[in-house]
Amino acid sequence: MSTMALAPRVVALVLLLAFLLAPQFFAPVFAPLTHNGAPPIYTQASLLDLAIAHLELVALATVGSAVVAIALGVLVTRRAGAEFLPLSRAIVNIGQTFPPVAVLAVAAPLVGFGQAPTLIALFVYGLLPIFENTLSGLQQVSAAVVESAKGAGMGGLQRLVKIELPLAAPQILEGVRLSTVIAIGTATIGSTVAAKGLGEVIIAGLLSDNTAFILQGGLVVGVMAVLIYDAMTALERIVLRRRGVRR
């Protein structure tokens, strides 16, 4: 990434951290968006704590989605598991068929309020991008390369770990990256079932008709999504370059 392309991201990161650590310094910026003496900065909870809790939810859900989706992708690209492809697609499409709010509505009465129903909703919603990218990546691995590995005496597991997954890694990681960004935005709805996160700020703004709160929550979520997407992209390039895999 060039210096000119990196500079705006560094500025965004610095401003984000400054706002989360000392939000009151930004009160004059948000004050024009309030009325009737409403507070310009959300102070009912620490914005830094809410951001950390938000990212923790996203990380847990994304890791769970990645483990399940990649395992399913591997299974259905093996000869023994090919017949399970339609079933696997049906499972991972649940998250896209039912919106996260609907999943929350079903999960909350079963597991209670708080983080649990939000994790379930984010987990289910994050399966499809990772599964489809895993499937696409593994299917595009050259049959000649696989046959060469087989001819070299590699077993099925060795071929998968040393040949197929590394070659499919760029697409798999792209799916994980996309799932992560989707989860960062979607996690805001978790506050409707008492999950700690930045959705709390947005909901407080909606309930009190305070545009400043709504903008604060939305901006922090949006900037985090962009910065994390870029950071994951850069990390992916470093890892793949060291492993000698081309994008």
Cα–Cα nearest to 128, from 205, 202, 206, 66: 66
What pLDDT, on a 0 to 100 scale, did the predictor assign at position 1?
55
User: Cα separation of 106 and 98, whole Å?
Assistant: 10
What long-range pairs does 76-85 form, CB within 8 A, spacing at least 24? 76/135, 77/135, 77/138, 77/139, 78/156
User: Cα separation of 137 and 7, whole Å?
Assistant: 33
According to CATH, what is the number of the domain 47-242?
1.10.3720.10
207: tokens are: 């309930």
User: Cα separation of 92 and 181, whole Å?
Assistant: 17
Q: pLDDT tens track of the chain, all 247 residues?
A: 555 567 888 899 999 999 999 999 999 999 999 888 889 999 999 999 999 999 999 999 999 999 999 999 999 988 888 888 888 888 888 777 777 777 787 887 887 787 889 998 899 989 999 999 999 999 888 888 877 877 777 777 888 888 888 889 889 999 999 999 999 999 998 888 888 899 999 999 999 999 999 999 999 999 999 999 999 988 888 877 776 666 5
